[in-house]
Structure 1
């Protein structure tokens, strides 16, 4: 199972690292969770530089693609050359986006009729694009999901696990990651 956590310069660490951490709990099933970007290294919104594990084209063969949020999303959304490198297919892939990642999903034609969740900063841009924004932390329809708010990445990760290996594994993964004495509430 190939899973791409897609990030660009200016990425939000919480969106990407929380999802990657939870999804990596399923290694015994052969899951390969990879930080994916268009450049060999990327710098977060807070100045953290990391090495990409896969090139941008990895998303085209991944079984799951999760778009994180970035400070530069509106610029990325206008970069037709960059976006033309992405050939996603929701009939064959699970695709999720968090916060401003939902704007990129719209630009790529992935939100056709799907109401989206996003963060408060991105909400006006997504509405202006014609997407219905709902005031929830998470929404999924078929193989498309969106989440709003930095800590909502747990919902995307749990959704992926639930869709691919079931409720029991999803509960186990979120149980492991959730705070002590709040595990029942999180599940």
Structure 2
């Protein structure tokens, strides 16, 4: 599966790095995730807490991923960089909307879900969100569920920063199987937290 993690100036480091490592480790357990860090055209981006990351490639409207993971960052701080600023610029929400229409699964970690909402794709769906942004998420017309991860078919959201790890483990379970997810969990010395709400 082609998985792209979309980075932008002020992204939350753990929102992106957590899922990146989990999905990479899944390949040691029989998965086939092609995981890349992508940007809007910057060769390097700086996270909210100062980590500089070199992108694998630029996001390309002609190369729609199977799964696009969108980290949050800076939303609740209302600073000069991060997810809120990207939502206001509308460039990333527009791309998310295009990818969604082409069939990509969109997965948001923490306030990355707010960029999904700003894209207009969360309306009428169930989602989860960091507790400080729940009301804002609801204002976009979606129902916020108090689960750790919410899987509403082609829209998946994870509640807060560390829940990106749980989101990635859920992706492994959903697309590879529970045995592989358990193997990765064991290798990480991590125990999944909370519940996954899934639409049947």
Could you say which TM-score interval applies, normalised by the shorter chain?
A: 0.7 to 0.9
- Structure-1 residue corresponding to 2:34: 32
TM-score by length of 2: 0.80
Aligned-pair CA distance for 1:52: 1.0
In structure 2, how many angstroms separate the alpha carbons of the residues matched to 1:150 and 1:47?
16
In structure 2, how many angstroms separate the alpha carbons of the residues matched to 1:111 and 1:126?
9
- Structure-2 residue corresponding to 1:168: 179
Listed as ranges, the matches of 1:51-130 within 5 Å are 51-57=54-60, 60-71=63-74, 72-86=82-96, 87-89=98-100, 92-130=103-141
In structure 1, how many angstroms separate the alpha carbons of the residues matched to 2:132 and 2:47?
17
CA displacement 1:5-44 (0-9 Å, x = unmatched): 1121111111111110000013354421111111211111
CA displacement 1:113-135 (0-9 Å, x = unmatched): 22211112322321232322222
- Paired residues of 2:124 and 2:141 also in contact (CA < 8 A): no
- Structure-1 residue corresponding to 2:8: 8
Which stretches in structure 2 are left out of the alignment for 5+ residues? 75-81, 195-200
Q: Secondary structure at the match of 1:106?
A: helix
In structure 2, how many angstroms separate the alpha carbons of the residues matched to 1:63 and 1:22?
17
- Paired residues of 2:125 and 2:152 also in contact (CA < 8 A): yes
Aligned-pair CA distance for 1:101: 0.8
In structure 2, how many angstroms separate the alpha carbons of the residues matched to 1:129 and 1:94?
19
In structure 1, how many angstroms separate the alpha carbons of the residues matched to 2:127 and 2:95?
24
- Structure-2 residue corresponding to 1:145: 156
CA displacement 1:47-106 (0-9 Å, x = unmatched): 111111121227952111111112121221122345434421377332210111111111
Aligned-pair CA distance for 1:140: 0.8
- Paired residues of 2:128 and 2:150 also in contact (CA < 8 A): yes
TM-score by length of 1: 0.86
- Paired residues of 1:11 and 1:45 also in contact (CA < 8 A): yes
Which stretches in structure 1 are left out of the alignment for 5+ residues? none
Q: For this pair of structures, how many residues does the alignment match?
A: 183
In structure 1, how many angstroms separate the alpha carbons of the residues matched to 2:51 and 2:107?
23
In structure 2, how many angstroms separate the alpha carbons of the residues matched to 1:34 and 1:58?
15
Cα RMSD after superposing both structures: 2.5
